[in-house]
Amino acid sequence: MRYKHNEIIFNVFSMRRPTAKGKRMIHVFEMSDGINDYRIEFDAEDLTWTLVSIVKGRYVGK
């Protein structure tokens, strides 16, 4: 993923959960690059990804 001219490589997949936003099916992913945590959403209708949040320095992996 690219964010603010930086490439982020996810190496930890923590959780995926489907949820509905109105009539749209959204899949919420919790990911990490080993340093920071990211929440991203995939809109199954539009086939688009959205970065929802970044938590700096909070690696969720073991």
d(C-alpha 26, C-alpha 17), whole Å: 8
Question: What integer is the mean pLDDT of 10-37?
Answer: 89
Q: What percent of the chain stands above pLDDT 90?
A: 58
pLDDT of residue 15: 82
pLDDT of residue 12: 86
Q: Domain residues of the chain, as ranges?
A: 2-55
Angle value at C-alpha 25, between 20 and 31, nearest 5 degrees: 90
pLDDT score of 62 more than 60:
no
